[in-house]
Amino acid sequence: MANYKLDITKEHCPMTFVKTKIELSKLKSGDILEVLLSEGEPLENVPRSSTEQGFKVLSITEAAVKGTHLVQIQK
Amino acid sequence: MDFTEDQIQRYSRHILLQDVGVEGQEKINKGKVLIVGAGGLGAPIALYLAAAGVGTIGIIDGDVVDLSNLQRQIIHFTPDVNKPKVISAKEKLNLINPDVNVITYQELLTAENAERIIRDYDFVVDGTDNFPVKFLINDACVIAKKPFSHGGILRFDGQTLTYVPGSACYRCLFHSPPPPNAVPTCSQAGVLGAIAGMLGTIQAAEVLKYLTGVGDLLTNRLLTFNAKTMEFRTIKSKPNNNCPVCGSHPTVTGLVDYEQAVCDIESHRKQK
């Protein structure tokens, strides 16, 4: 269950991952951040960059609004 | 600290780096760095450190901008001729990044003021053009246990090393200043302008590495390059037990102003 939420649907690369990192920096190890993002570049890059930088991508699911997804990232 | 939206944008390319990130950028923003000399090396060092968001940048230089400086001292512009270098530099740094607190010292670093000035900083960068002050910076930093970056350029050559307490210092490699006039300075021998940028940016990168704790510093190593062949060499070194300042029986226990080459002093006088 995600404890924290972040909406980056209005951001563009690279600010999508920058904003994600800033939110993650405020969390404790083990905390889960749920990120709402758009398909395309954000959906391709944010999970990949998160994994590369040592975070754990727990799940990627379609969100209510068409073209958006929820990505759960654990610190 | 919480970054503003503007700061998130400004520092986004650092925040993206895994090794820097939010925490590293916060360390940069809290950093206090003294740059000795607002000339060929000091210019790129100061510009990059301000752009990176180093919180406090001190700049010490007693000279005014001369037309002959502009070929390499890229922080000074043509309308700055005759302006004190520290004022000219501060104006540019404030324009690049208003977050940075720039402290200016319009004077030469001397045996009398060195300890007092470097005391307030986390790191010192040598951007000077003469041996007496290079040795003074080394001795002051070793005695005060203050990390610093040595840098020197001449003609087509550059060299740099980083010192942290316990590593080889400048005197471990170069025992004492050469006799006045034995080695020409930039003002006598000339220097390819761009190598000031090559070396200064290496020094700026070392400062950012030190502040963030990222990577391996250029400690116990001397980096040299020659721009004609564009060959870089790294020479390994180690603390020298016979070093006059950091060895087991130091003979340098206080600061001294070594004699400057006569033409250097005259060129300084001329500019005043």
Domain annotation covers residue B19: no
Q: How many domains does chain B fold into?
A: 1
Q: For the residues A9-34, what does the mean pLDDT come to?
A: 95
User: What pTM did the predictor assign?
Assistant: 0.92
Read off the pLDDT of residues B231-263 as tens digits, 9 standing for 90 and up.
Answer: 999 999 999 999 999 999 999 999 988 877 555
Query: What's the topology of domain A4-74?
Result: Translation Initiation Factor IF3 (3.30.110)
Residue of A nearest to B14 (CA): A18
In a domain, B260, yes or no: yes
Which structural domain, as residue segments, surrounds residue B228? 31-271
pLDDT digit string, tens, across residues B132-191: 999 999 999 999 999 999 999 999 999 999 999 999 999 999 988 888 877 777 677 899
Q: Which of B12, B22, B23 sits opposite A14 (nearest CB)?
A: B12
Handedness of CA A52, A58, A61, A64 (dihedral sign): negative
Is B22–A19 a contact, with Cβ atoms under 8 angstroms apart?
A: no
Give the helix/strand (H/E) hosting B60: strand B56-60
| CATH number (domain holding residue B121) | 3.40.50.720
Q: A15 to chain B: which residues are within 8 Å by CB?
A: 8-9, 12
- The count of residues in chain B is 272
ipTM: 0.88
Cα-based angle B261, B134, B152 (whole degrees, multiple of 5): 90
Band of the pLDDT at B264, cuts 50, 70, 90?
A: low
Nearest to A17 among B9, B16, B23 (CB): B16
* B92 within some domain: yes
pLDDT, tens digit (0-9, with 9 covering 90-100), for A34-47: 999 999 999 999 99
In a domain, B21, yes or no: no
Closest Cβ–Cβ partner in A21, A52, A54 for B15: A21
pLDDT tens digit sequence for B25-75: 999 999 999 999 999 999 999 999 999 999 999 999 999 999 999 999 999
Distance CA B116, CA B55 (A): 20
Q: Which residues of A are catalytic?
A: 13
Residue B18 lies in a domain: no
Q: Is the pLDDT of residue B266 over 80?
A: no
